[in-house]
Structure 1
Amino acid sequence: MARSALLNVMVNAALKAGRSLTKDFGEIENLQVSRKGPADFVSNADRRAEQIVHDELRKARPTYALLMEERGEIEGTDGQHRWIVDPLDGTTNFLHALPLFAVAIALERAGEIVASVIYNPVMDELFTAEKGGGAWLNDRKRLRVAGRRHLADCVASMGIRLTGTDNDALTLRQVGAVNPAVAGIRRTGSASTDLAWLAAGRLDLYWEAGLAPWDVAPGQLLVREAGGTITDYAGSTGSIWNGQVVAGNELVQAQLLKVLRTIR
């Protein structure tokens, strides 16, 4: 695939941050057995990766705004463009030396996501998408969502934080309803990974609530450019701001929505 100049900026930032995370990831197993534990180390790794992404994006487009998980909103003078960044999506996985985490970057133009990058540095998998240009893996393989037609044949993924909130209690009830209807349920611990894998056809369905904009924005475009459907729980095209995602191909996504609507 041919990348635009803007997508090249995003890819370069993600790859550079990924190299930093890979280096830090190599230290995690040693930290796992220490008395203090690796929590502070991971926080520093997260901040280092975010600093790298910030510096690369600012250097290339100094007038663009940013929305970053750690730093929050950083104003720009452009008025049209904003980078949305999660430098380490899957922090708990990283903390436990599980290789399911990603650097995730989206570009918003006039309120619409127009480009995205999700990069898993351990697996060296680079997922990219631009509006109207399709979704791709490592610039070589064009992605399409899986074509299964019945819930009973589908593997679904979901997210839950188990923090005792009403939202988590609802999710547990949803799991109880969805589990007997599908072939299996998985939980990766990384929303960006879930959406990238759905775009690649590895997962058939994904649902979660309580997500932040940087969890949703990069994967949202990937799924749509791979021919998938992504809405909120009400079935509307939704927003990266309401934190709800139900995704899959058009047919099974509608079937999953029907199940989820029965749960209160």
Structure 2
Amino acid sequence: MSHLEIAQVMAKIAGEMIKSKMGSGFITEDKSSSFDVVTEVDKASEQLIRQGILEKFPSHHFLGEEESFLSGRPLAEVLAEATSEPYLWIVDPIDGTSNYVQGIPGFTVSIGLACYGQLQLGVIYDPCGDELFWAEKGKGAFLNGKPIHVSPVNELGRSVVATGFPSKMEARRAVYEGLGRLIEQCRTIRSLGSAARHLAYVASGRLHAFWENGLNAWDMAAGVLIIQEAGGTVTDAKGNEYSLLTTDVVGSNGHLHAPVLQCL
């Protein structure tokens, strides 16, 4: 089974497990604050994906959101070390946990693979919509097996732009500031509750751009590659090249990248 195939299989298995437990009275805990929550299902999903990947590729390294949080190590330190790893799986077991806790569709499973710090594949699965987005470096981007491409819209006034509201208040304030400027320029703003879903929607042309501050590698890794392979552009909020250490991200169809950056 190839790297892509195992990522697709584990994303769908985890997604179906997550969906089956929706509304079942699972335990919810605060993580870093009351704005940042985790459920026992997040942990079970991450363990399921980890086990499935490492059974096939036991020498590979694994970076999951929940495991990383519990380790107590600074993420920047972990990611700096990861640039020397030939295979690093970067996993968000439920991206959009707040949606999940509230019973709102729109949460996703996100699985990325980086080799020596460079993204090689990304898989995002939306179990409620049964939509599987994926990309391999140099091979294009797909949704349920059909090629996808970013939108050709090239006027900010005709664009639908998305953002999210991070758990850390400083990053949240930065989003508010960008929102105040962009809302006067674009057609409308959406916030769907999952960074991975936003990125996948930019790649498929449903959204024209997305920005958010205070994200981590597991929120973005898979979606960044999917946008790039769909013909779009991803940078940090200052226009610098994306890396695994990027936290303030802008993804777009490319045509609108400069205008969005200017607003931010």
| Larger displacement relative to structure 2 (64-73 or 219-228) | 64-73
TM-superposed CA distance for 1:157, in Å, is 0.1
Q: Secondary structure at the match of 2:183?
A: helix
Corresponding residue SS for 1:180? coil
Secondary structure, aligned partner of 1:54: helix
Over aligned residue pairs, what C-alpha RMSD do you find? 2.1
Q: Does 1:239 align with 2:228?
A: no
TM-score normalised by length of structure 2:
0.88
Partners of 1:237 and 1:111 in 2: CA distance: 13
User: 1:136 and 2:125 equivalent?
Assistant: no
What do the CA deviations read for 1:42-84 (whole angstroms, capped 9, x no partner)?
A: 61111111111011001010000011101127999x9411100
Q: Rg: which structure is higher?
A: 1
Is the 1:42–1:94 contact (alpha carbons within 8 Å) kept by the matching residues of 2? no
Structure 1 segment 152-171 matched on structure 2, within 5 A? 152-161=157-166, 165-171=169-175
Q: How far apart, in 1, do the equivalents of 2:244 and 2:192 lie?
A: 20
The TM-score normalised by the length of structure 1 is 0.88
Contact 1:14 1:119 in 2 (8 A): yes
Q: Is the CA contact (8 Å cut-off) linking 2:117 and 2:244 kept in structure 1?
A: no
Q: 1:49·1:87 contact (CA, 8 Å) conserved in 2? A: yes
Quote the offset at 1:26 in angstroms: 4.7
**Shift in Å at residue 184 of structure 1?**
0.1
For 2:236 and 2:153, how far apart are their aligned partners in 1?
A: 21
Q: 1:6 aligns with which of 3, 8, 29?
A: 3
- Secondary structure at the aligned position of 2:210 is classed as strand
Partner residue, 1:146: 151
> Hey, what's the Cα distance between the residues in 2 that align with 1:5 and 1:166?
41
Residue identity matched to 1:20: M
Task: Name the CA distance, whole Å, in 2 between partners of 1:216 and 1:161.
Answer: 13
Structure 1 unaligned segments of length 5 or more: list them: 32-36
The answer on 1:39 being equivalent to 2:35 is no
Deviation at 1:207, TM superposition (A): 0.4
Which shows bigger deviation, 67-76 or 184-193?
67-76
Instruction: Measure, in 1, the Cα distance between the counterparts of 2:185 and 2:167.
Output: 23
For residues 10-21 of structure 1, the aligned pairs below 5 Å read 10-21=7-18
Question: Residue 8 of structure 2 aligns to which amino acid in structure 1?
Answer: V
Match of 1:251, SS? coil
- Correspondence list, 1:106-121, <5 A: 106-121=112-127
Query: What is the alpha-carbon distance in structure 1 between the residues aligned to residue 5 and residue 211 of structure 2?
Result: 30
